[in-house]
Amino acid sequence: MSYLFLFSMLLLAILVSSPAVKGKIGEGKVKYYLGKLSPDQYVVLHDVLIPSKNGKTTQIDHVVLSQAGIFVIETKNYQGWIYGSEKSKKWTQVIYKRKQSFHNPLHQNYGHIKAIEQIIGDQIKPPYYSIIAFDPKSTIKKMDVNSPRSFVIYSNQLVKLIEKHDETVLNRLQIKRISQRLEASNIVENGSSKAHIKQVRTDQQEKLMKVKAGVCPKCGNQLVTRNRKNGNGSFKGCSGFPKCRFIA
Ligand SMILES: [Zn+2]
């Protein structure tokens, strides 16, 4: 084997084991599972980015709307043994005899549900199901959850759990209204926060190019070179100063 090959394999291994990439792979898997739900009966939304309290935004991995209510799903792509309880602030992951704690995902998901509630408004009050889905690679060792609408399961059990809830609480029109509200509030039109991040990057790039071309990205006026007060070199500023205070 050549060194180049070995090097590429090593690089690939590092990349695939990075938490960000692993997370994406895990989410893709859950997307695949949820794709098995019949589209006639379920509306499945992925990667929902909606406003939450005090002007912040909250990101929800998956939301499933059905006649039984709203399933809010938080996925955790962890390995090792998982210990937790509904009430505790932190849960524990044990991997290679190392203990790590993480925020109780049910608490996290409670915030997601509150954000959804706010968007839907008071007219429809559907039941909410909070689901924490761990990757089947992990082992849920001990889990104390007693609320009837909270679940901690493996992601390959999601479809079964959702389909088991077949009571009719919402009619089709209500489901449609809810999904329309959520999609309208989704900060990214097509439901992908990746696209949102990409857009931010594109905007930054555009700004940089304008500055390089000597144009103010804020107002479109020309940029001019100004000397600093105490002779400490110069900087580029907008010729529209003081109306525009852009400084490159
Ligand atoms: Zn300007």
Give me ligand 1 centre to Cα 247, in Å.
8
173-222 pLDDT tens trace: 999 999 999 988 887 544 455 555 555 666 777 788 788 888 898 898 99
Q: Give kind and range of the element (H or E) at residue 16.
A: helix 3-17
78-136 pLDDT tens trace: 889 999 999 999 999 998 878 888 999 999 999 999 999 999 988 888 999 999 999 99
* 20 or 102, which is more confident: 102
Residues around the ion ligand 1 (C-beta < 5 A): 216, 218-219, 221, 238, 240, 244, 246
Give me ligand 1 centre to Cα 221, in Å.
5
Give me ligand 1 centre to Cα 223, in Å.
7
| Closest of 239, 217, 236 to residue 227, by C-alpha | 236
Give me ligand 1 centre to Cα 189, in Å.
30
Q: Mind spelling out the 3-state secondary structure of 23-45?
A: HHHHHHHHHHHHCCCCCCCCEEE
Q: Is the pLDDT of residue 57 over 50?
A: yes
Distance in angstroms (rounded) separating the CA atoms of residues 242 and 228: 16
pLDDT at 235: 87
Give me ligand 1 centre to Cα 213, in Å.
13
21-23-26 Cα angle (round to 5): 110
166-183-42 Cα angle (round to 5): 20
Domains, the chain, in order of start with CATH, read 3-191 (3.40.1350), 196-238 (no CATH)
Give me ligand 1 centre to Cα 215, in Å.
8
Q: What are phi and psi of 47, to 5 degrees?
A: 50, 60
Give me ligand 1 centre to Cα 55, in Å.
28
Give me ligand 1 centre to Cα 222, in Å.
7
Give me ligand 1 centre to Cα 226, in Å.
14
Residues 2-13: what's their mean pLDDT?
81
